[in-house]
Amino acid sequence: MAGLAITGVQIYDDAINKGKYAKAGARLAVAATAAGAAFIPVVGWGVSLGIGVADYVWGDDFYDWVDKQ
């Protein structure tokens, strides 16, 4: 839950304060995918955790790349 709250603040900052709507949209899509994956029976928690770890490790590079495209 804390990760979703922090992501919400980052989305708000990207979209409202910086005007980087593509970056905010990509961040929202990744967060929604991770949250939705948690509902997959049996393995959902692992999938969601994997998405979260990948977002932590490569997220900023990915979001900057999306913003440049």
> How many angstroms separate the CA atoms of 31 and 52, rounded?
8
Instruction: Please give the span between the terminal C-alpha atoms of the chain, in angstroms, as a whole number.
Output: 30
Residue type, 12: Y
| Overall pTM > 0.85 | no
Question: Residue 27 phi/psi, 5° resolution?
Answer: -65, -40
pLDDT in tens, 15-62: 898 888 999 999 999 989 988 998 999 999 999 899 889 988 998 899
Please give the pLDDT value at position 40. Answer: 92
What average pLDDT score do residues 6-21 get? 89
Q: Is the pLDDT of residue 2 over 80?
A: no
Q: Is 69 helix (H, G, I), strand (E, B) or coil?
A: coil
Please give the pLDDT value at position 68. Answer: 87
